[in-house]
Amino acid sequence: MTVDETRIRTEPSPVHATDAVAQAMRVSVAPMMDWTDRHCRYLHRLLSRHALLYTEMVTTGALIHGDIPRHLRFNDEEHPLALQLGGSEPADLAHCAKLGEEWGYDEININCGCPSERVQRGAFGACLMNEPQLVADCVKAMVDVVSVPVTVKHRIGIDKIERYDFVRDFVGTVSEAGCDTFIVHARNAWLKGLSPKQNREVPPLRYELVHRLKHDFPALRFSINGGFTDVAQMKAHLRLLDGVMVGREAYHNPWSLADWDALFFGEAPTSLTREAVELAMCDYMVREAAEHGTPWSNIARHMLGLRNGLPGARRWRQVWSDHRLKSKSPHEVMASAHEGVPQEA
């Protein structure tokens, strides 16, 4: 990555969101379907006290016509926490944003970045970037009924539209409706011909467009998303922008979050160990089973990357993935997983 040194800020951006959410935005974990459920977020919160966490996308239809507690329930420990909504009807989004605030979420985010065909059939996600005024109307409807920040997650373009003025005009229009925080995935979304997985890999990353947005809209807050795998990348972008959002790297290598509080939030270096986190997750599994009947395997799947790179990690993952052990308690499974596995220094 090439960083334009002429655009390094010497003063922080104005804080329009609540102080806690604005500070937490500095480093966040991306909303990821089928992954960032409340169990995954509980694990991530054990590793970082301050990073901003996002839910999976929840559609307005699921909240209006479905089981609200199932979609909105979270653990108190997860704060600061943002609810991501998918939808394109202003009234429906306003209703669901209000529900999110009533349930205690710290931020409401609208998805304008998902390229999947299923989402497109619902007329939301990345295809909304073609209708900036509609997105502005949606934002205005939500801002009018909630007091928590309303934010937008989007791409830098769609299909073959690679002009900077496309994303610039989108941000300009939506910001006039009351949104001052944008999370930008620095790739185009191709609405036809690529799967969601390919959309995370094939369109090139163009970080410089996000830097340019910050340069052109200095009063707005921008977090950048896409392709981050190490701390050096994150630090470089934080010299220019207000936040960095990490996706799959945070999920596949969750232990990397253990350094975030010290590196990005001024905390003392952690004395946490992987074993302590694993034990806390076992306690959580017991609690979840008692309160909600959740099988421990539904939770354990999120921590399978916890020992990546350590001796014995493969055997450890195999034990925690063994469904023949479902009848055992989580603590018994943990003991089995550590048989013959070297402990952390």
Q: Is 112 designated active site? A: no
Task: Say whether both 200 and 299 belong to one domain.
Answer: no
Specify the pLDDT at position 1.
Answer: 34
Note the pTM of the prediction, 2 decimals.
0.91
Task: Say whether both 224 and 287 belong to one domain.
Answer: no
Among 114, 127, 179, 282, the one annotated catalytic = 114
Does residue 345 form part of some domain?
no
Beta carbons of 96 and 85 less than 8 angstroms apart: yes
Specify the pLDDT at position 21.
Answer: 81
Last residue of a domain, one of 218, 236, 264: 264
Partners of 168 in beta bridges: none
Task: Say whether both 157 and 58 belong to one domain.
Answer: yes
Task: Say whether both 248 and 324 belong to one domain.
Answer: no
For the domain that residue 55 is a member of, what is the CATH number?
A: 3.20.20.70
Task: Say whether both 183 and 323 belong to one domain.
Answer: no
Task: Say whether both 231 and 304 belong to one domain.
Answer: no
Residue type, 6: T
Specify the pLDDT at position 120.
Answer: 59
Q: How far apart are the first and last CA of the chain?
A: 35
Per-residue pLDDT of the chain (345 residues), as tens digits, is 333 333 223 233 333 445 778 888 999 999 999 999 999 999 999 999 999 999 999 999 999 999 999 999 999 999 999 999 999 999 999 999 999 999 999 999 999 998 877 665 667 788 999 999 999 999 999 999 999 999 999 999 999 899 999 999 999 999 999 999 999 999 999 888 777 778 778 889 999 999 999 999 999 999 999 999 999 999 999 999 999 999 999 999 999 999 999 999 999 988 999 999 999 999 999 999 999 999 999 999 999 999 999 999 999 999 999 999 999 999 999 999 999 777 775
Last residue of a domain, one of 239, 264, 289: 264
Beta carbons of 100 and 93 less than 8 angstroms apart: no
Q: Where is 186: in which H helix or E strand? A: strand 181-189
Contacts of 93 (CB under 8 A, 6+ apart): 60, 85, 87, 110, 138, 141, 142
Backbone φ/ψ region at 219: left (φ over 0), alpha (ψ -120 to 50), beta: alpha
Specify the pLDDT at position 342.
Answer: 77
For the domain that residue 316 is a member of, what is the CATH number?
A: 1.20.120
Specify the pLDDT at position 14.
Answer: 36
Output the CA torsion 37→40→46→48 (10° steps). Answer: -80
Does residue 72 form part of some domain?
yes
Specify the pLDDT at position 198.
Answer: 83
Does residue 118 form part of some domain?
yes
Task: Say whether both 119 and 98 belong to one domain.
Answer: yes
Last residue of a domain, one of 242, 264, 286: 264
Does residue 217 form part of some domain?
yes
What is the extent of the structural domain holding 25? 5-264
Specify the pLDDT at position 164.
Answer: 97
Specify the pLDDT at position 192.
Answer: 80
Task: Say whether both 188 and 294 belong to one domain.
Answer: no
Task: Say whether both 197 and 313 belong to one domain.
Answer: no
Q: CA 224, CA 245: separation in Å to the nearest integer?
A: 6
Q: CA 23, CA 265: separation in Å to the nearest integer?
A: 8
